[in-house]
Amino acid sequence: MRVKKLPLPALLLLLSVTFFGIFLVLIEKREEVIVHIPKGLTAKEIAKILKKEGIIEDELGFFLLLRIKNAERKLISGWYRMKRGIEPEEVIDILTRGKRVMVPVSIPPGSNLREIAGIVEKALGIDSLEFLELAHDKRFMEECGVYDAPSLEGYIYPETYVFAKGEDARFVLRVMVKRMFEVLDDSIPLRAGEMGLNIHQLLTIASLIEEEAQVDEERPIIASVIYNRLKRGMPLQIDATVQYALPHHKPRL
């Protein structure tokens, strides 16, 4: 039985599709991701996180390798950048690496993007303009899981972060946005939908409430006022909307 030969153009097309598919798999496997290892986790819990993030393939094998290397209790918590599909030995080396120069970066509640950019520049030496440009970059925002929003305004969780000196703007922003998604309750998208809002609108309102409220007791009242005015199509007419338009915070108007 003779094997029918493919015409040369068809053969070349088949080969190109095959190699392109392999290329895409390799790209996906080597994609750099941000991994958060919280404090107080066991080696098994850390292995689960690494498997979920696609850093390792064999959770049990990784745990056994930790035991063999006597590294179970040597894993350091924190934020890491890793590539998917790297060797388990390299992962262990990253997580047990020696101390680096770490810098605390505190983001107060109610801070806008310009203020956050200034804080980051002062603490880490990252150019504030570069930080702001990246926070408005659509492609980068989508990498962070943020869609249908003009910027990352409202998507940066206010807390004290610890970064290695010399980190770049991409890493810092991805960590801060990922932290916001970590603390968001799973029910929030549903609740936003019930109110006729998307996540971006809800986070924007939350930022305005944080900016406007002087004490905790004011928050539910301000939230009610904002929601009712939006529902009726009325101007918000609150100081916080003006404050976000100003280059720097000023005393309450």
Reference 166, options 117, 124, 116; nearest CA is 124
User: What mean pLDDT is predicted for residues 210-218?
Assistant: 66
Q: How confident is the model at residue 201 (pLDDT cuts 50, 70, 90)?
A: confident
Residue 89 has pLDDT above 60, yes or no: yes
According to the model, what pLDDT value does residue 148 have?
82
pLDDT, mean of residues 38-56: 94
* Joined tokens for residue 173: 């922003």
Q: Residue range 220-239: average pLDDT?
A: 64
Residue type, 193: G
Place of tokens 């200034």: 118
State percent of the chain over pLDDT 90: 45
Reported confidence tier of residue 78, pLDDT bands at 50, 70, 90: confident
Range of weakest confidence among 28-32, 137-141, 152-156, 200-204: 28-32
Question: 132 near 117, Cβ under 8 Å?
Answer: yes
Q: What residue ranges define each of the domains in the chain, with the CATH number in brackets?
A: 29-95 (3.30.1490.480), 102-183 (3.30.1490), 188-245 (no CATH)
Which pLDDT band holds residue 12 (cuts at 50, 70, 90)? very low
Residues 6 or more apart in contact with residue 144 via CB below 8 angstroms: 152, 155, 173, 174, 177, 178
Query: Would you place residue 137 in the very low, low, confident or very high pLDDT band (cuts 50, 70, 90)?
Result: very high
121 exposure class (CB count in 10 Å sphere: 0-12, 13-18, 19+)? middle
> For residue 2, what pLDDT is reported?
52
Residue 10: pLDDT band with limits 50, 70, 90: very low
How many Å apart are CA 61 and CA 10, to the nearest integer? 43
The tokens for 122 are 């002062």
Q: Which residues contact 215 (CB under 8 A, 6 or more apart)?
A: none
φ, ψ of residue 237 to 5 degrees: the values are 55, 50
